[in-house]
Chain A
Amino acid sequence: MNGARILLADRRLLAAALALAVVLVLVLVGPWFSPYACDEIDFAGDWSAPPSASGAHWFGTDSLGRDLFVRTLCGGRLSLLVGLVSTLVSLAVGVAWGALAGYRGGRLDQTMMRVVDVLYALPFMFFVIVLMVLFSRHLLLIFIAIGAVNWLDMARVARGQTLALRQREFVAAARLSGLDDLQIVRRHIVPNLAGLVVIYAALTLPQVILIESFLSFLGLGVQEPATSWGALVNDGAREMESAPWSLLFPAGFLTTTLLLLNVIAERLRAALERPGR
């Protein structure tokens, strides 16, 4: 499976990946090119000032007189970090769980999938709120927790795929060569799930970023003065009439990123699932 070839063969995938790279670079290095810090309040300047291309604040200022350009980019760092961590956690748990259940089958499979069923029936929102209340101080812990809740889909799909892989000759060969179950899962099953994992990663990332933004809506999001796209969009939504720029810029970044991630997921799926086309 040659990632680069797939990427280069699909113009839209390539374009989306490049655009995402631009967003990433902007978010990572952008703040260094601004004279303002993320949490700096301009006590003398105008608060909720409109953007000006010539002036000091390219994206304007927020309702506390902070530079929106820097805050949007800083918020992006956090949103992406949060998305990445949660996605990794959910993939790791989901793949391990699904592959093990699918490979071993039998009673273990039934029990493990039963756990998934129960967790499915738990309202996600309730679970997240309780986690937020319990871990209110540690942001990353929360997103590890979110990732740990979000793995259910991955587990189901990984299990399905594993069930199919189990029948294949190379697994039987590995078994004959004396590898134990865990080794087979690790060396032969999981690597063969890679394509699936990539697609799911691209699908999960935008979901998690949206969850973070919803938590901000509930007021349970990141801790000031740090910020995230979700928190910024929320603040902006409150001022959408009086200071539309405070909604438009962060929402633009958030939406664009989610859009790009979704496009990438879709094209990857097309490329990986139907290699003939």
Chain B
Amino acid sequence: MRRRTPRRLAAALMLAMLALPVQAEPVLRIGNGPEPESLDPQRMSSVSALNIARDLYEGLTRIGPDGRALPAAAQGWQVGDGGRRYTFQLRPGLRWSNGEPLTAEDFAAGLRRLVDPRTGAPFAQLLSCIVNAQAISEGRARPEQLAVWALGPSQVQILLRAPTPYLPSLLAHPASFPTYRPALARYGREFARPGRLVGNGAFRLDQWVVQGQIELVRNPHYWDDDRTALDRVRYVPSDDVAAELKRYRAGELDVSSEIPLVQAPQLRARLGDELHVATYLGSYFYGFNMERAPLAAQPGLRRALAMVIDRELIVAKVMNGLARPAYGWVPPGVSGYAPQSVDWAAWPMARRLAEARRLYAAAGYTPAHPLRVELRYNTHDDHKRIATVVAAMWKQTLGVEATLIHEENKVFLAKRRLRRETQIFRAAWIGDYDDASSFLDVLAGDNGRNDTGWRDPQYDALLAAAATEADPARRAGLLAEAERRALDALPVIPIYWYVSKHLVKPYVRGWRDNLLDYHYGKDLSLAPG
């Protein structure tokens, strides 16, 4: 009996070899970062969920490879009332993935659901440019009062508070996508699951193994199904970038969601052709708690701290080139906007150091009496490395004694919001749509996401003026002036701008890097063989 064990083991091993991945039908396997929290377009918030939503559903518009809004479920739109009224014309014969007709009312209902506070939508404020949207999400009006109407079965009309030239971009965001009302009525919050979820995208949900994979299959009822190449798209979640990379290298993934920073140089050398790095709409920064002395009261001190951070070194050595040095708040590449930067951006380091030392001394600090600050960040290896280097730069150039404190993410966020314990904190902002206001709004005094607590009436006034300005050039000018005010006051220190970074196998066709890092499954295909 015991003698036979080795032979059995050998047989088992053989079996294992035979079971190695054999591609049955063409499926694109995409590494997708953390497990999505939901596939309900109005309830989701993570990048990984939004990625899948763009394949499962379709909005009135989509984002083209050049970053501009293109017609999607709508075949076109007219703008009237001085830029305040948009009328979208739907494509004829649109259907849900179960074959039922898809009408203008479905889109209007999706938007009403988004702003309804009972939905609990994280992106509820995305469309606050629509008349009554703000009031509804604050509970001061009923969802039916939203200024979105279905004009017959194939026209959607939207009335805006002020001209909003980027509305077509906003409508490419999954939060504005339609949800199938019968499924919603029947299953409530639990509708977004295989067998229940009905969408209108190029693919429909076939399988969802939590922490395993989400597999989509071609939707034959999609209007553009003829030009959809892939039969299946599989989104594979991973909490561990290094593990994802290993699966990519072993040929188990065709696209990776990320690249481990420390391995960037090796990957560049070995897999250079497969590496896709592109400007991305995201800003990594340190915020000051503007409600606590001494940093709140001393702009010179904030300026000094900002000046001595060697961003080029951080990008080159800590980020291994996978970022862009940031000297402004709004990332480069935003449509119709000239990027602003701090006045000392072009200064050589020596001049910056001299000026920073002068400011530091002027604020009353000396080597014997150094500034002592706490720098908080949420637990993550990359944040740790940057904080370590920044603290060392402050120490070596100015003599600042910065204590690093890492906190588990939820604790960190809660404290950052309270603005009691924090002094300097790590933060990041990823733009929701391609417009400077997606960034500038964050620093507005009444914005709930402004964790610095900075309030500048003039800044807020400039934003308000821009929001009602019809002329694009003048609007851009107002926004730029607001950004310059923020950069003079420096409630935040910009450190770097994100880049999107993927590994894409050479046989994946149709991949085009873009500012929002949107990649629609319907545009992609696998080269034969």
**Given A219-B381, A239-B263, CB of A47 within 8 Å of CB of B408:** no
Asked whether B407 lies within 8 Å of A242 as measured between CB atoms, the reply is no
| A interface, size bucket | 20 to 34
Question: Least Cβ distance of B431 to chain A in Å?
Answer: 27
Whether, in the assembled complex, A136 has its beta carbon less than 8 Å from a beta carbon of chain B, the answer is yes
Whether, in the assembled complex, A126 has its beta carbon less than 8 Å from a beta carbon of chain B, the answer is no
The docked-state distance in angstroms from the alpha carbon of A196 to that of B24 is 60
Number of interface residues of B (CB under 8 A): 27
Whether, in the assembled complex, B78 has its beta carbon less than 8 Å from a beta carbon of chain A, the answer is no
Asked whether A137 lies within 8 Å of B405 as measured between CB atoms, the reply is yes
Whether, in the assembled complex, A64 has its beta carbon less than 8 Å from a beta carbon of chain B, the answer is yes
Asked whether B408 lies within 8 Å of A63 as measured between CB atoms, the reply is no
Write out the residue numbers on chain B whose beta carbons fall within 8 Å of the beta carbon of A41. 388-389, 392
Interface SS, B side = helix
Nearest chain A residue, comparing its CB with the CB of B387: A224
The docked-state distance in angstroms from the alpha carbon of A119 to that of B392 is 43
Which single member of A47, A223, A235, A243 contacts B404 (CB below 8 Å)? A223
Whether, in the assembled complex, A132 has its beta carbon less than 8 Å from a beta carbon of chain B, the answer is yes
Whether, in the assembled complex, B474 has its beta carbon less than 8 Å from a beta carbon of chain A, the answer is no
Whether, in the assembled complex, A6 has its beta carbon less than 8 Å from a beta carbon of chain B, the answer is no
Query: What sequence of 0s and 1s flags, for each residue 46-59 of chain A, a beta carbon within 8 Å of any chain B beta carbon?
Result: 01100000000000
Within 8 A of A (CB), among B390-427: 391-392, 396, 404-408, 410-411
Asked whether B242 lies within 8 Å of A238 as measured between CB atoms, the reply is yes
Asked whether B385 lies within 8 Å of A238 as measured between CB atoms, the reply is no
Query: What sequence of 0s and 1s flags, for each residue 266-304 of chain B, a beta carbon within 8 Å of any chain A beta carbon?
Result: 100000000000000000000000000000000000000
Query: What sequence of 0s and 1s flags, for each residue 23-54 of chain A, a beta carbon within 8 Å of any chain B beta carbon?
Result: 00000000000000001110100011000000
**Given A63-B385, A64-B388, A224-B404, CB of A241 within 8 Å of CB of B317:** no
What residues of chain A have their CB less than 8 Å away from a CB belonging to chain B?
39-41, 43, 47-48, 63-65, 132-133, 136-137, 219-220, 223-225, 235, 238-239, 241-243
Which single member of B262, B317, B380, B389 contacts A219 (CB below 8 Å)? B380
Write out the residue numbers on chain A whose beta carbons fall within 8 Å of the beta carbon of B242. 238
Asked whether A219 lies within 8 Å of B379 as measured between CB atoms, the reply is yes
Write out the residue numbers on chain A whose beta carbons fall within 8 Å of the beta carbon of B467. none
18 A-B residue pairs with Cβ-Cβ distance under 8 Å, sorted by A, are A39-B388, A47-B317, A48-B262, A63-B262, A64-B318, A65-B317, A136-B408, A219-B379, A220-B408, A224-B406, A225-B391, A235-B381, A238-B242, A238-B262, A238-B263, A238-B381, A241-B263, A242-B262
Write out the residue numbers on chain A whose beta carbons fall within 8 Å of the beta carbon of B387. 224
Whether, in the assembled complex, B260 has its beta carbon less than 8 Å from a beta carbon of chain A, the answer is yes
Within 8 A of A (CB), among B25-61: none
**Given A41-B388, A64-B389, CB of A133 within 8 Å of CB of B404:** no
Query: What sequence of 0s and 1s flags, for each residue 293-326 of chain B, a beta carbon within 8 Å of any chain A beta carbon?
Result: 0000000000000000000010001100000000
Write out the residue numbers on chain B whose beta carbons fall within 8 Å of the beta carbon of A43. 313, 392, 396
The docked-state distance in angstroms from the alpha carbon of A209 to that of B313 is 35
Asked whether A242 lies within 8 Å of B266 as measured between CB atoms, the reply is yes
Nearest chain A residue, comparing its CB with the CB of B396: A43
The docked-state distance in angstroms from the alpha carbon of A65 to that of B380 is 19
The docked-state distance in angstroms from the alpha carbon of A36 to that of B28 is 50
Q: Which of B317, B381, B391, B407 has the most CB of A within 10 A?
A: B317
**Given A64-B389, A238-B242, CB of A220 within 8 Å of CB of B384:** no
Write out the residue numbers on chain B whose beta carbons fall within 8 Å of the beta carbon of A238. 242, 260, 262-263, 381
Nearest chain B residue, comparing its CB with the CB of A136: B407
Whether, in the assembled complex, B265 has its beta carbon less than 8 Å from a beta carbon of chain A, the answer is yes
Asked whether B262 lies within 8 Å of A224 as measured between CB atoms, the reply is no
Q: Lowest 3 A-B CB distances belong to which pairs?
A: A219-B379, A41-B392, A242-B266
Write out the residue numbers on chain B whose beta carbons fall within 8 Å of the beta carbon of A224. 384, 387-388, 404, 406
Question: Least Cβ distance of B395 to chain A in Å?
Answer: 9
Write out the residue numbers on chain B whose beta carbons fall within 8 Å of the beta carbon of A133. 408, 410-411
Question: Least Cβ distance of B84 to chain A in Å?
Answer: 48
Nearest chain A residue, comparing its CB with the CB of B313: A43
Asked whether B317 lies within 8 Å of A223 as measured between CB atoms, the reply is no
Starting from the known contacts A43-B313, A43-B396, A225-B392, 15 additional A-B residue pairs (CB-CB under 8 Å) come to A40-B392, A41-B389, A47-B317, A63-B385, A64-B318, A64-B389, A133-B408, A133-B411, A136-B406, A136-B408, A219-B380, A223-B404, A224-B406, A239-B262, A242-B266
The docked-state distance in angstroms from the alpha carbon of A224 to that of B380 is 12
Which single member of A137, A219, A223, A242 contacts B263 (CB below 8 Å)? A242
Write out the residue numbers on chain A whose beta carbons fall within 8 Å of the beta carbon of B389. 41, 64
Question: Least Cβ distance of A68 to chain B in Å?
Answer: 14
The docked-state distance in angstroms from the alpha carbon of A65 to that of B317 is 9
The docked-state distance in angstroms from the alpha carbon of A39 to that of B391 is 10
The docked-state distance in angstroms from the alpha carbon of A137 to that of B396 is 25
The docked-state distance in angstroms from the alpha carbon of A108 to that of B263 is 58
Question: Least Cβ distance of B145 to chain A in Å?
Answer: 43
The docked-state distance in angstroms from the alpha carbon of A242 to that of B407 is 29
Question: Least Cβ distance of B313 to chain A in Å?
Answer: 7
Nearest chain A residue, comparing its CB with the CB of B317: A47
Nearest chain A residue, comparing its CB with the CB of B246: A241
Nearest chain A residue, comparing its CB with the CB of B421: A137
Question: Least Cβ distance of B259 to chain A in Å?
Answer: 12
Write out the residue numbers on chain A whose beta carbons fall within 8 Å of the beta carbon of B396. 43
Question: Least Cβ distance of B383 to chain A in Å?
Answer: 10
Question: Least Cβ distance of A74 to chain B in Å?
Answer: 14
Write out the residue numbers on chain A whose beta carbons fall within 8 Å of the beta carbon of B384. 224
Question: Least Cβ distance of B321 to chain A in Å?
Answer: 13
Nearest chain A residue, comparing its CB with the CB of B406: A223
The docked-state distance in angstroms from the alpha carbon of A241 to that of B389 is 23
The docked-state distance in angstroms from the alpha carbon of A243 to that of B266 is 10
Asked whether B379 lies within 8 Å of A220 as measured between CB atoms, the reply is yes
Write out the residue numbers on chain A whose beta carbons fall within 8 Å of the beta carbon of B407. 136
Nearest chain B residue, comparing its CB with the CB of A133: B408
Write out the residue numbers on chain B whose beta carbons fall within 8 Å of the beta carbon of A48. 262
Write out the residue numbers on chain A whose beta carbons fall within 8 Å of the beta carbon of B381. 219, 235, 238
The docked-state distance in angstroms from the alpha carbon of A122 to that of B385 is 34
Write out the residue numbers on chain B whose beta carbons fall within 8 Å of the beta carbon of A220. 379, 408
The docked-state distance in angstroms from the alpha carbon of A219 to that of B411 is 14
The docked-state distance in angstroms from the alpha carbon of A243 to that of B263 is 9
Question: Least Cβ distance of B244 to chain A in Å?
Answer: 13
